Each structure stands twice: as structure tokens, then as C-alpha cells.
Amino acid sequence: MASGYVLGISAFYHDSAAALIGDEGIVAAAQEERFTRVKGDAGFPRHAAQYCLSEAGISAADLDAVVFYEKPLLKFERLLETYLDIAPRGLASFRRAGPLWMKERLFAERDIRGGLDGYAGKLLYAEHHESHAASAYYPSPFDEAAVLTIDGVGEWATATIGVGRGAELELLEELRFPDSLGLLYSAFTYHTGFKVNSGEYKLMGLAPFGKPRYVDRIYSRLLDLRDDGSFSMDQRFFDYRGGLRMTNREFDRLFDGPPRQPEAPITQREMDMAASVQVVCEDVVLRMAGHAHRLTGLPRLCMAGGVALNAVANGRLAREGPFSEIWVQPAAGDAGGALGAAYVGRHKYFERARPAPKGDAMRAALLGPAFDADAIRDTLDATGARYDDVSGAGPADVAAELISDGMVVGWFQGRMEFGPRALGARSILADPRNPEMQSRINQKIKFREGFRPFAPSVLAERTADYFDATVHAPYMTFVVPVAESRRRDGEAGATGLPRVHAVRSDIPAVTHLDYSARIQTVAREENPAFHDVISSFDERTGCPVLVNTSFNVRGEPIVCTPRDAYACFARTRLDALVIGPFVVRRGEQDESALSAAGARSSAIGLD
């Protein structure tokens, strides 16, 4: 190899991204949505790719290869065979999808080369689940591991089991379309009134409010589940093969009515549907993982694919499953496929050795752009913000003091996270001890459903003081029980969604209805700046935990630039913004400047 650089690309479905790997490991990775400000942007990741190249100080001409995360011709084969199999049903969908495939996706090479300003070098294609598996195994801290990938569908596969050893990665078995755990979960997401490919998080958050009264109905009518986790689905109840909906009238009849309209009130039916499909999801994941353990005989497991973001299922697998250690790719969805594609190119095509792991290679997922003090100051000056330089006092101490005084703080420091979670670089932080904090942030800052839970970020060395957890969880990929000593009984006879207000622990803002939490363990060596904030808050309050939620509002991507951060601050009820070495306090701002900043588009590219 000449330069050692391989660029991975995922695009044209949802969550487009680019990732660059070199001889020293991962150089950079980012989702296109963060630059265009279009949630789930599916277009070619031109800005993300440009950023990755700029981080290495190279141009596309310096790359050894570009690797696309799936094989469009195989995917079109599946699309065409499916339509032919069910014809004439699905004609309307084919009329919509067919021209799109012919115009755009079958000409991926043209679009990739054009998006990289006429790149003329080597262009390779990995398979979709191969990319997921590579993103799970290669950056993991294991030199040998079983690999499990589960999502909606790639070309044909919907789940795979593989094994990684050194630089070698082999997929051993697969489950094929139309049988798909990801599509089953998305069908329930759709039917409960949430958006497919983004609302699955909401469905998981809604599940604790319901009772799993539909589980038997799912198993008896929808899903024939086998001991090894494989299954077949009765397609009479679904419309995703050839229709424009996930479910159909047979599904309506089976689950007591048509889909909930988005924004309509959530009823007990939707809560019970969420609880039921979550139970089934966990059961399938546990069976698949058990089969992977038997098949490979290995004690460690790596996971990726959209279903691997189901932190509740992951938590059960960590507690009840056969593996001694589990590592989940933090960008487990299609965005992470870009990273996996780059790894496939490096290790499979170019046959490069894999260095012995020294911890995981994701660098705390802090793989996106960073902005220096001058760039931040210029942005604040241009927006008319009033701010103080707190480099002397220390941004971490200032943020901790504001939070301990009851304020909700936007925290913008260092490189942006890769993946769907804010992990202490583009975060909104608050005091978890305040029982009103969950509702306050949801309704007045995030502008989203009040039942949506928040994650606790805890000092890694103090995890056992608050949570019954043995997992190292730096990426919010595991839900674990809150320690018995921290629990409170605050139900007071509440039912339905109002139960969210019940105080269940001495950190109520991050404790779920079932006394669990989706934790982030923060180690100093992995994320020193964020560790400093929590440590400073601990010194002031005796609590080594913070509420940590993504720095964005409903329907928008997580902020990327200082301009994005200030615009989000201006549009919301955030009390303060700690950005680089500066602090912006809401009470000190000119209201006309805030209104103007909030009204302006925060879209910005790297051109």
C-alpha cells in the first residue's frame, strides 16, 4: 500500500457517513446529517468525507481505496425478486422505488466518484452485514471473538453470526429477508405511531409503561421462533415487501386497531405493544447469542447492526447470556457501516495485519470535528452573544457549579461523537437528583415526548455505588439495574404515562420505571474533559452522576459546530452554554440577539 488510508462510505438509504482509517487506526468518522443539518441525511456524505480527508491532511487522490458499505446490485436483485414473487401486489411501491434505484443506487460508482470530486482510484464494495461485522470486531478490544449482527435488511441478510481472529473475519451463518428482527421491531414502531429508522428508541423507552399482553399473539401468529434464534415470519400480516406501509389490515385486526397517527395521544394499547415486542426482541437476541456461543466456542462477543442499539436487550444478554464480555459498536447502525467498510478494505482486500488490541480502537467515539478557541470566539462574536472566558477557572468546574445550582447546561468540547449518542462532547447536562428534571428537559429544551428517558453518565470508578453493573459501558449500549441501596418506592398508585413522575431512586431523572438505567461509564483515560465535569460535580454534591442527553432538539441532528450549538441554545430554555473555554449565560443575553440567532438556520458545510 502507498498511503495506508482507506475511506469507507455509507449512503443512499439513511444515516449516510464517512470514515477514514490509516496505519495508526481510525483517523476520523462522521455522519453527513451533522453538517447538512438534515436528520438522517441519506445523500452522498460529501461533507463528512471532506472532513475525514481534511483531518488527515490528504486529498481523495491520496487514498489507497474507497469502500462502499454494501453491494447495490445484490440489493437490487433482492428488490426485483421480491416484487416478482408477490406481483401484481406491490406495483405502486415498485413504481416509486424502481426509478430511484435505476437513477441513483445502481449508479453508485458514478455518485461516489463524483461526490469525491472525480476520484479516479480504486473503488471496492463490501456486503452490508460484512460491514456491520467488521465495524463490530476490528475496533473491539478482543483479539478473538464471536460476532453477531442484526438489523432490518442488507442485500439479503437480516442477521449474521461470524468469528473474528486476528485480521481474519468470517461470517458463518445468516438469516435472510423477509424474516427480520429489525423489520419486526420497525413494524411495531410504525404501528405505534413513530417513525421507522428513528422511532425505535421511542418504542424501547415506551415499553416499561406497558404490559406484554401481546407476546403470545406475536409467537402464535407472527413469529415461528426456533431454539437457535432463527425464525420465520408470517408475511400475511406485513406490507414491507411490496407495500408503502410496514403493516396491513390483518395486522390491524390482530392488534386491536389501525396504526396510531403520529402526535395522537398514546394509549395503553401502544404501551402494551411496545412492551410485547421488546420482550420478543430480547428473547430472540438471547437465543441468537446463545447459538453464536455454541457455534464458535468463544467467550467474547462483538455486536453491530441497528438492533444492537437496543440497550435493554444488551443488558439482559450481559447479565444472563453465555459470554464473559460483550462489546457493542457505538455507531451500530448504517452510519457505522462506513467504518466497517473501511476495515473490510484494509484487512480483507489489502490483507493488512491487525495490531494486538490495547483497549477498543474507537477513541471514546470522539472521531468528529473539533473547534479551537479562536473559531468559537469568532462565532460567538458574530452572533452577538455575551460570554465570559473561563479558561482560568476551568470550563469543567464552571459547568459543574452551574449544574449543582440547578441549571441545565449545554456542553460543547473537543471532537464530536460518532454514532447516535452524545457521550460528553456535544451533550446537555443536568442534575440527576432533581425529580422534575426529566420533564423539564423533555418539554422545555428537547421539545419531545415527556416519557422519553435520559441516560446517566457516571464516573467509571464509582459505578458500583449506584448501579448493579459489571460491564464497561462507555457508549450507552447497556441498560443495567440501579443499585438496591439507591431505590425508592414512589409509585403512589399512578398509572399510564404519568408514572414517569414517580420518584424511584435518589437519581430519579435517570431511573426507568423498572429501576434500570442506560448507563455511560466515564473513565479519565478515555474522556478526561468529561470526567473532570462529573468529578467536579461529585466534589460539590457527593453524586458522581450527571444527566447526559444529546445536544439537539427533537427532529434535528446533534450539534456539530459552534454555530449549531449557539443556535440550539438560543432556541431552547437552556440556562447556560459552556463551549470551549467560554460560558454563555442565558440571563446575560440580549433577547433580540437570541431571537435572531434562534431564527437563523444553523446549517453549515465545510466548503
What is the bridge-based pairing of β-strands 157-165 and 388-389? unpaired
Helices (H) and strands (E) in the chain, counts: 20, 21
Chain position carrying cell 447538512: 36
Instruction: Report the C-alpha gap between 132 and 339 in whole angstroms.
Output: 9
Question: Between helices 268-296 and 181-191, what is the axis angle to 10°?
Answer: 170
Please name every residue paired with 304 in a beta bridge, in sequence order, or none if there are none.
149
Q: Active-site residue among 14, 129, 472, 512? A: 14
17 closest CA partner among 25, 91, 40, 526: 40
Please name every residue paired with 149 in a beta bridge, in sequence order, or none if there are none.
160, 304
DSSP 185-217: HHHHHHHTT--TTTTHHHHHHHGGGS--TTHHH
Chain position carrying cell 409509585: 491
For the chain, the C-alpha Rg in angstroms (whole number) is 23
Q: Would you say 70 and 14 are in contact if contact means Cβ atoms under 8 Å apart?
A: no
Give Cβ neighbours of residue 312 (< 8 Å, ≥ 6 apart): 204, 207, 278, 282, 479, 516
Instruction: Report the C-alpha gap between 175 and 183 in whole angstroms.
Output: 13
Instruction: Report the C-alpha gap between 185 and 170 in whole angstroms.
Output: 27
Instruction: Report the C-alpha gap between 547 and 452 in whole angstroms.
Output: 13
Give Cβ neighbours of residue 286 (< 8 Å, ≥ 6 apart): 229, 313, 316, 317, 320, 321
Active site residue 512: no
Instruction: Report the C-alpha gap between 399 and 457 in whole angstroms.
Output: 15
Q: Which three cell numbers stand for residue 139?
A: 475496533
DSSP 479-541: EEEBPGGGB----TT--SGGGGGS--BSSGGG--TTSEEEEEEE-TTT-HHHHHHHHHHHHHH
The b/e string for 425-436 (b: 16+ C-beta within 10 A; e otherwise) is: bbbbbbbbbbbe
Long-range pairs, 56-62, Cβ under 8 A, ≥24? 56/5, 56/20, 56/22, 56/27, 56/28, 58/3, 58/5, 60/7, 60/116, 60/117, 60/119, 60/121, 61/119, 61/120, 61/121, 62/3, 62/5
Angle at the Cα of 129 from the Cα atoms of 124 and 130, rounded to 5 degrees: 50
Q: Would you say 19 and 26 are in contact if contact means Cβ atoms under 8 Å apart?
A: yes
Which residues are tagged catalytic?
14
